[in-house]
Structure 1
């Protein structure tokens, strides 16, 4: 995404547009939020690299706080205050929610909007059932409760940011549509007007920003669903979300969530979780963040189970025994989630961010002229952390229309030395080269031959994830730069 940095008055707009934007797969609605934030920082003369890197994260943290609030309200609406309190505890303690929800991913905002939309949707349902005897006029008005329209608006915004959010809202809408008396009223006076309004606004925004007539949801569906374009970045077995992905996300809350589902018999929400996991399982390319919107819902059932344990403690004669069971559960959840949350957020794979902070400081002193990243594509935050108009180059991984064609990233990992020699030849056009320690030994002779030497080494990871162990990130610089 293009970014602006007011400190470079001579050329305030620069950056890199990834291939998704060139193919019209992303809407500008989500980036517009952070672009507005950047503009505010510029007007306040706070557009320094540090503020420009931290401000979006702080803003997303505010969004995450609203997500916590609406999860509390949703749990209270469906169950009770006590369940809501334990749900909030589960949400705040869960390691993956702590790790992911404050990141500026579209999935994070989608999760917040999904929870908020579900709150207003179920609040409308509860309100319509609030009184048993009402007049015909009152009954008609309750069928069009304002909260339901607000829920539809939030759902439409969520789908505009990530079209796959329609998977969630298709289930929610159809489940209640079957039981509605005024089906035509719901479709023609609520769903279509709200959906058409949001689609029109976002489409006009995208047309203006792209400079051409682009329909992002259609392009998104064509690439990810009809052509399985996402499979280019790897596939998993069908059952991955059920056996590995989601259990890793919910972690030690899983037994409590299953217990809560069975005890509560709230099949609408539990069915929604199963539906989303099932639909996403059909797609070959799978990632943890794709199913993030249903994680808070699963944690709500954990809250139900914990609330049931606390109520059982009060009623049972063996109070001490029940109290110890609840306390042990809470202690187990804390010691299995909190350390993991801090480790994954503060230490695991932090080298790619540390290296950008270092380059940003060096660029401020004029010691960085150009950078080459010899690492898998999109490994670093790139301009979003550097915030200086310096030429940078990373290995491209744009999906090829020809199956079997390797991109630059794969070609480099297959044969690092041969690839660098063939594609870049003389490396003297770069002042700095960044790479993982796992590939360093393969191209070290080329670096030394071109007068590069190591200047910094940053810790990255203690264990491998999907590639060879990338234990550290190394920066090499030409000697005449220092």
Structure 2
């Protein structure tokens, strides 16, 4: 286990007050930067982060998970362009499981951009901008996440320390951050809100009472900082109720001082102020959320309660996957931290105990952050349905905990490096002394560092450009084709449009591509296989165990069809009179202009349209018009291979209208 690096105490520029605790002596004199220099430095770093994440958002051209679109952009599109815009509102929105606050951000952006662009540019260019707009908005939150990670590390370790810069480089170079921070997940916004709230949290509440006789919340700016922190935390909890676990961890150690050093500065009056501010700030945010949800849903509702009811009481979360109890330990944290995993584990372990190289306040802050991580991971491990995104808000904390050990492993004080070089010249290879975190440094273990950074870079490039890119590019192809075929239907006002043919049928696992936020035009009608959960069944019932959604039924292999899947579904359900509910809300037995699916369904399509009696009567002649590579691997066998678009040929025939009228 690496030794504890010597840490300098926070400076007056940090908000944490360390009192009279002395810091270790260092071999290099520390010159504290002037406050104007610090201010200019903060401005420059924030500007560079905005530019960096803006580029990150533009380069990201791959599909990750459906929630990026269906929990944010589809309701946002509906907010901006109306109920008839063709937005696909999933069951979670129909049953009010999600807060409207998150999509409202993008809905306002859509509305403002449409108002400007529609008056100045042709529809095709407007759609191009609207497609990219949400990620550009999210890039602002991503940059703020990086910024507040750096700022919290600075508050803990001091602005003369090199450790905050290490934390900043870690968050910038983390491939998970590159892959996810600019995506419109509610988890991404939750992560930014959490680290910002932790930065504004008055950490004087965990200091040693002997180091400062003044009550923590009477210190200048601490009360205002507490209010900002509580407001940000309340919004995060409303977006993702599980975020409450982080704050329960922080409050538990703050109030009980379990494992913390020193005497508590919290007396009765401080505790009353803390409780009062929690109630007032929480109520204010709750009121705004209730009004927002009332305006969006049309009646009073409380999404966090609905979320708990359906996911916990009704056990519907299990319907979307069941993971082993150790998932977050064996996969979640490793995926979040990637090459920084060993340092994060060391940081978590070291933070649980006191250190002679840290001040009491520094040690207590790190213990509190570590406890928040461990308590959230431990609690979420009990729940069956697990995803890496659920612990994403812990990543900035892990960066901060790991930063001192990353810095220690890869650097050495410049003076020690010079001495070591001199010693080695004389024939000795003595190890350099333990480095401090201030003053000029020299890199060491350069080969390991180069390998680490190269691996991070390769992961970021592959994930952002080559892993599931076809799910996005196929939508661009369809929209471009629609613009070519129907140039008079390029409007976002659904009331002005005539009904067009069913343009695309997606025979893919449900939510395999974005929807209206990328298809755009309401006249571009499309439908897809759905995967609604069995809301009508009871937990543990036989009916729920046997339930199969549309996607399951399509991909169910049939012995009667030589082990092929899909043929029976197409004959009995799709064009058998029962119809298929589309993402746009339409029902019927229309023949689409295009069929979209992964290449594995081609054999099933040919068997149905060329050999099945009902299929042959439809007059479909499949012609592959587009295909896109979708990555080197996929854990879902249904999504493996290229994504393909077939033209049915129906709309190119003279008798097209007669054929469509038959079915």
TM-score (norm. length: structure 1): 0.91
Alpha-carbon spacing, 1:8–1:275, altered in 2? closer, same or farther (3 Å): closer
C-alpha displacement at 1:478, in angstroms? 2.2
**Which residue of 2 is the match for residue 238 of structure 1?**
325
C-alpha displacement at 1:271, in angstroms? 1.9
**Which residue of 2 is the match for residue 67 of structure 1?**
145
Which of 169, 175, 195 is 1:115 aligned to?
Answer: 195
Question: 1:231-259 CA distances to partner (integer Å, 9 max, x unpaired)?
Answer: 10110100011012221221111112223
SS at match of 1:192: helix
Question: 1:416-470 CA distances to partner (integer Å, 9 max, x unpaired)?
Answer: 2211221111765211111111223222323454223211111112112133561
C-alpha displacement at 1:5, in angstroms? 9.6
SS at match of 2:647: strand
Matched, 1:478 2:648: yes
How far apart, in 2, do the equivalents of 1:127 and 1:145 lie?
Answer: 16
Aligned residues: 479
**Which residue of 2 is the match for residue 308 of structure 1?**
408
| Structure 1 contact 373–435 (Cα < 8 Å) conserved | yes
Q: Mind listing any 5+ residue stretches in structure 1 that lack a counterpart? A: none
| Structure 1 contact 453–479 (Cα < 8 Å) conserved | yes
**Which residue of 2 is the match for residue 434 of structure 1?**
596
TM-score (norm. length: structure 2): 0.67
C-alpha displacement at 1:2, in angstroms? 4.2
Which of 511, 519, 523 is 1:386 aligned to?
Answer: 519
| Structure 2 contact 467–630 (Cα < 8 Å) conserved | yes
| Structure 2 contact 153–164 (Cα < 8 Å) conserved | yes
C-alpha displacement at 1:183, in angstroms? 5.5
Which of 368, 371, 393 is 1:293 aligned to?
Answer: 393
Matched, 1:54 2:132: yes
Alpha-carbon spacing, 1:309–1:442, altered in 2? closer, same or farther (3 Å): same
**Which residue of 2 is the match for residue 209 of structure 1?**
296
C-alpha displacement at 1:36, in angstroms? 0.5
**Which residue of 2 is the match for residue 375 of structure 1?**
508
For residues 164-183 of structure 1, the aligned pairs below 5 Å read 164-178=242-256, 179=264, 180-181=266-267, 182=269
Which of 403, 407, 420 is 1:318 aligned to?
Answer: 420
How far apart, in 2, do the equivalents of 1:226 and 1:208 lie?
Answer: 27
For residues 313-462 of structure 1, the aligned pairs below 5 Å read 313-314=413-414, 316=416, 317-318=419-420, 325-366=444-485, 369-389=502-522, 390-400=524-534, 401-402=536-537, 403-404=544-545, 405-414=547-556, 415-425=565-575, 428-447=590-609, 449=616, 450-462=620-632
SS at match of 2:117: coil
| Structure 2 contact 197–228 (Cα < 8 Å) conserved | yes
How far apart, in 2, do the equivalents of 1:291 and 1:6 lie?
Answer: 29
How far apart, in 2, do the equivalents of 1:428 and 1:130 lie?
Answer: 77
Structure whose CA Rg is larger:
2
SS at match of 2:249: helix
Question: 1:292-351 CA distances to partner (integer Å, 9 max, x unpaired)?
Answer: 111121122332112223564446443697656442342122111111111011110111
Alpha-carbon spacing, 1:232–1:333, altered in 2? closer, same or farther (3 Å): same
C-alpha displacement at 1:27, in angstroms? 0.9
Which of 88, 94, 100 is 1:16 aligned to?
Answer: 88
**Which residue of 1 is the match for residue 384 of structure 2?**
284
Q: Which deviates the most, 322-331 or 169-178? A: 322-331
How far apart, in 1, do the equivalents of 2:636 and 2:367 lie?
Answer: 36
For residues 34-45 of structure 1, the aligned pairs below 5 Å read 34-45=106-117
Alpha-carbon spacing, 1:377–1:314, altered in 2? closer, same or farther (3 Å): same
How far apart, in 2, do the equivalents of 1:222 and 1:338 lie?
Answer: 42
Q: Which deviates the most, 271-280 or 70-79? A: 271-280
| Structure 1 contact 454–475 (Cα < 8 Å) conserved | yes
Q: Which deviates the most, 63-72 or 272-281? A: 272-281
SS at match of 1:398: coil
| Structure 2 contact 290–302 (Cα < 8 Å) conserved | yes
How far apart, in 2, do the equivalents of 1:377 and 1:61 lie?
Answer: 27
**Which residue of 2 is the match for residue 226 of structure 1?**
313
Alpha-carbon spacing, 1:255–1:38, altered in 2? closer, same or farther (3 Å): same
C-alpha displacement at 1:273, in angstroms? 1.5
Question: 1:76-115 CA distances to partner (integer Å, 9 max, x unpaired)?
Answer: 1112341110111111111111101110010000001111
Q: Which deviates the most, 19-28 or 314-323? A: 314-323
How far apart, in 1, do the equivalents of 2:175 and 2:630 lie?
Answer: 20
Q: Mind listing any 5+ residue stretches in structure 2 that lack a counterpart? A: 1-73, 257-263, 354-365, 425-430, 433-441, 487-500, 538-543, 557-564, 577-588, 611-615, 653-663
SS at match of 2:201: helix
C-alpha displacement at 1:129, in angstroms? 7.8
Matched, 1:150 2:228: yes
How far apart, in 1, do the equivalents of 2:207 and 2:596 lie?
Answer: 58
How far apart, in 1, do the equivalents of 2:181 and 2:226 lie?
Answer: 25
Which of 336, 340, 349 is 1:249 aligned to?
Answer: 336
How far apart, in 1, do the equivalents of 2:188 and 2:324 lie?
Answer: 25
| Structure 2 contact 324–384 (Cα < 8 Å) conserved | yes
C-alpha displacement at 1:197, in angstroms? 1.1
SS at match of 1:365: helix
C-alpha displacement at 1:144, in angstroms? 5.6
SS at match of 1:435: strand
How far apart, in 1, do the equivalents of 2:112 and 2:223 lie?
Answer: 36
Question: 1:197-237 CA distances to partner (integer Å, 9 max, x unpaired)?
Answer: 11111012112211122111100111222222111011010
**Which residue of 1 is the match for residue 7 of structure 2?**
none
Q: Which deviates the most, 384-393 or 311-320? A: 311-320
| Structure 2 contact 190–240 (Cα < 8 Å) conserved | yes
SS at match of 1:370: strand
